[in-house]
Amino acid sequence: MIKDEKVVKTGEQAINRLTNINQLYVLTSGSTASASEMIINGLKPFMPVKVVGTTTYGKNVGSITLYDSPSSDYTKESSANSAHLYAMQPIVFQIYNKLDQSDYINGFEPNIEVKEWHYWNNILPFGDENEVVLKAALDDIKGISAKHAKSFKFSEIKEVEVFKLEKRFDKEMYITDEFFNQ
C-alpha cells in the first residue's frame, strides 16, 4: 500500500530549452498571426529574430468566447442556452514582451522579403529545401546572398482549356423534376 506519496514536479533541469539557440528564423506570410507573432515579439529581447517572407497579420491581442452559459462562467458552448445562436468574443488581453513592447498591430516587416505568390509556378512540398521562402532563410543562414527566381507575368501565362460548366453539370449532378415542382 502506498501512503500519501508526494509527487515532486521540480528538478535541476532548466525549463528553457532554448539555451543553445542564438538566432531564430520565422517564415511568414500575411496570414501569420497571433501565437506566431507572440513568439517573434516574445523572443526579440533575448535573441535576434529574422522574419522571412511577407509582413505578418498584426494580431497583438487575445480574446475569449463567451456563451449564454451561466452554469460554466459563460465559457462552455456545451451548456449554452440552445435558443441563443450567437456568442460574444471580446478582446480581453494584449500581448507584451519583457521590454513592454506590443507595437505590432501592423504586423512584423520581414528582414528578408520573399513574395511567395510570385513563384506560383514553382510550388514545392512543405519542407523542400528549394521552396522559395525556406530557401531564402537557409541561404541567409549559410551566408549566401539571395538570388531571384523567375516569376511570370500575366501575359506569359498559358491559357488552359477547361470543360464548359453546363456540360460538367450534366455529368456530375442529378436533379429530378420533383425538385423543381416543390
pLDDT of residue 150: 53
| Domain residue ranges in the chain | 20-60+95-147, 61-94
In tens, the pLDDT along 94-145 reads 999 999 999 999 999 999 999 988 888 888 998 999 999 999 999 999 999 7
Contacts for 99 with CB less than 8 Å, ≥ 6 apart: 44, 45
Give, in words, the CATH class of 20-60+95-147: alpha beta
pTM listed for this prediction: 0.66
pLDDT tens, residue by residue, 25-78: 999 999 999 999 999 999 999 999 999 999 999 999 999 998 898 888 888 888
- DSSP letters, 105-172, are TT-PPPSEE--GGGGGGG---TT-TTSHHHHHHHHHHHTPPP-PPP---GGGPPP-----HHHHHHHH
Q: What local confidence, expressed as pLDDT, does residue 70 receive?
A: 83
Strands 91-94 and 61-63: antiparallel
